[in-house]
Structure 1
């Protein structure tokens, strides 16, 4: 195991900036009579060393309450409304509930923060959700020298990393086998062009499955956007191909709805002409026509387990299981279940957006 990171000290900042420790305190607290050049030099030195002038660990040592943070991966300039996405809403609530039960406060940090804000927000430890392949936040958080747990396995995971994730590759294989058992011979995937670890893991599992069963991969790519315009166009283009896929899966919360809308627009029966599944979950999918097959990625368990692991690291517990894969759950419904005889087509109501 690697040596414990040592937090930078005010004396190190003072030495780097060429000032006294009192000057460092005044510069970072906005007090004292300092020139703007001196104040800037101190701030730059503190930033370079990842020095945090105050952390809640100090308050905890004095009998106060510890403060944990939860962060979400950035998506470029997209202001993703995470709390409106069922998976993240459940994960965040479970994380808060677990932290409060264990006597800690937990703050959810917005995805769009400056590097300085990530470095200076007073926290004892952080849960970072859905790290990207080349995650800009990960490097910043690791500079803090405080415990860090990933909710979602980093693709470039190291032996000393701590993470909780679901076994997405295994359940995707189960879903693809389910399609094939129902008679599908041309199973397609609709995947985002983004360096999240999540779609990258799914693409690898999909390609491996195709190689195993002898099917050529059928993929429609799209650039994520908040209006679903890119994914909607991708799934429509996919269903117009010749030969047309006879099963389609998407990986975001709205993917199942978008696939049903596209099939309805093109006059296709689900699941008679094309089976549909969504590699995510939303309670509303049970009530669509037909009900959509989904995968539960167990956000409540991931959020709770991530906080429990973080608290163990904060308190220096030994023998912790630092890397855990939880089983995900396939929820098979009518959208992917073909009957032995052709279904009688009936008018369908348009799925709600």
Structure 2
């Protein structure tokens, strides 16, 4: 008969006490993250599995977490925008499965009380400033991690994962300048979101330093090509016209490209265009869009790790910054 692995076996292999193993696997106390990782690795290696029912009784946890867009957001997930969302979900799902949690997706804009029943924590994508859903969840003692920061709070408050939005826009502006742009415009969403607020502030500061007059538009009404199309026509209606446009989303960028071409101009010859998010559509449009890779899978991984660490009482930093890369393509190629 094969001997069943016990908690004492795991403790001996990891070089820690039985209590430490118990607290790690049951989410009690505050165990150092490295110690907790070592314990889980030896538990997996030895094939030790704690009873899910017993773990739930001991810790008052259900093992269920959820992920959704902020229901306060005007930018609810549509079929076209699912790519970015699904990559975040994929990263979070891998972590949840490895840590013994079940991850649910909540895609509706108006949740009911029953949606949160038995949920230990929620990953909330793109909260607005002062998002009421964060307060609602916390009032129900549900742990919340946001992807994108609630700008109504100090950076050290709350639990969040975000990209370095300032470095991202400066990377784009430097690229466009090196490729001959003299008057760079910005199409962004309202400043209710951390990425739009930080991008706009950094852009305006850059303009002051370079002696350029800012040409920015904060687009209301959601994220779609039509809104960006008309905003781009407006940019070209005055005496000062842009020779480059950065759009915070690929959909805005595609709308901008259509507007430029409707004016009888060419991308990139007459106007360089870049996007703040990457996608299959951005890669397939003609010319292909230069776009920022925000690494949404990594955002999901870090958000789920932070959420579960908080649920289990493990030590962690309150936030994590995911770096970005700029994928160079034909929409911003060097002018001859």
Tell me the TM-score normalised to structure 1 length: 0.73
* 1:143 counterpart residue number: 139
Deviation at 1:170, TM superposition (A): 0.6
Cα deviations by residue, 1:6-42 (Å, 9 ceiling, x for unpaired): xxxxxxxxxxxxxxxxxxxxxxxxxxxxxxxxxxxxx
8 Å contact from structure 1 (residues 57, 67) kept in 2: no
* 1:223 counterpart residue number: 220
- Cα distance in 1 between the residues matched to 2:303 and 2:161: 6
CA distance change for structure 1 residues 256 and 79 in 2, over 3 Å: closer, same or farther?
Answer: closer
- Cα distance in 1 between the residues matched to 2:203 and 2:90: 31
Q: Secondary structure at the match of 1:240?
A: coil
* 1:327 counterpart residue number: 323
Q: Secondary structure at the match of 1:107?
A: strand
Is it true that 1:93 corresponds to 2:90 in the alignment? Answer: yes
- Cα distance in 1 between the residues matched to 2:273 and 2:285: 12
Cα deviations by residue, 1:86-105 (Å, 9 ceiling, x for unpaired): 21121122212321222110
Deviation at 1:179, TM superposition (A): 0.9
Between the two proteins, the alignment pairs up a number of residues equal to 283
8 Å contact from structure 1 (residues 57, 123) kept in 2: no
- Cα distance in 2 between the residues matched to 1:274 and 1:221: 20
8 Å contact from structure 1 (residues 127, 306) kept in 2: yes
Q: Secondary structure at the match of 2:200?
A: helix
Structure 2, unaligned runs of 5 or more: 1-51
- Cα distance in 2 between the residues matched to 1:86 and 1:228: 17
Tell me the TM-score normalised to structure 2 length: 0.77
- Cα distance in 1 between the residues matched to 2:288 and 2:232: 19
CA distance change for structure 1 residues 83 and 104 in 2, over 3 Å: closer, same or farther?
Answer: farther
- Cα distance in 1 between the residues matched to 2:157 and 2:72: 26
- Cα distance in 1 between the residues matched to 2:53 and 2:183: 55
* 1:41 counterpart residue number: none
Q: Secondary structure at the match of 2:87?
A: helix
- CA RMSD between the two structures: 2.5
CA distance change for structure 1 residues 250 and 58 in 2, over 3 Å: closer, same or farther?
Answer: farther
- Cα distance in 1 between the residues matched to 2:57 and 2:325: 41
* 1:198 counterpart residue number: 195
* 2:289 counterpart residue number: 292
Is it true that 1:69 corresponds to 2:66 in the alignment? Answer: yes
Deviating more after overlay: 80-89 vs 296-305: 80-89
8 Å contact from structure 2 (residues 74, 222) kept in 1: no
Is it true that 1:268 corresponds to 2:265 in the alignment? Answer: yes
Is it true that 1:212 corresponds to 2:206 in the alignment? Answer: no
8 Å contact from structure 1 (residues 73, 111) kept in 2: no
CA distance change for structure 1 residues 76 and 333 in 2, over 3 Å: closer, same or farther?
Answer: closer
Q: Secondary structure at the match of 1:68?
A: strand
CA distance change for structure 1 residues 58 and 297 in 2, over 3 Å: closer, same or farther?
Answer: farther
Is it true that 1:127 corresponds to 2:140 in the alignment? Answer: no
* 2:99 counterpart residue number: 102
Q: Secondary structure at the match of 1:254?
A: helix
Q: Which has the higher contact order (CA 8 A, sep 6+)?
A: 2
Q: Secondary structure at the match of 1:132?
A: coil
Deviation at 1:338, TM superposition (A): 2.2
Structure 1, unaligned runs of 5 or more: 1-55, 342-353
* 2:10 counterpart residue number: none
Deviating more after overlay: 309-318 vs 83-92: 83-92
CA distance change for structure 1 residues 151 and 291 in 2, over 3 Å: closer, same or farther?
Answer: same
- Cα distance in 2 between the residues matched to 1:87 and 1:172: 19
Deviating more after overlay: 327-336 vs 57-66: 57-66
- Cα distance in 1 between the residues matched to 2:92 and 2:294: 15
Cα deviations by residue, 1:51-74 (Å, 9 ceiling, x for unpaired): xxxxx9997236996001112113
- Cα distance in 1 between the residues matched to 2:54 and 2:200: 44
* 2:163 counterpart residue number: 166
Deviation at 1:264, TM superposition (A): 1.4
Is it true that 1:237 corresponds to 2:256 in the alignment? Answer: no
Q: Secondary structure at the match of 2:177?
A: helix
Deviation at 1:133, TM superposition (A): 1.1
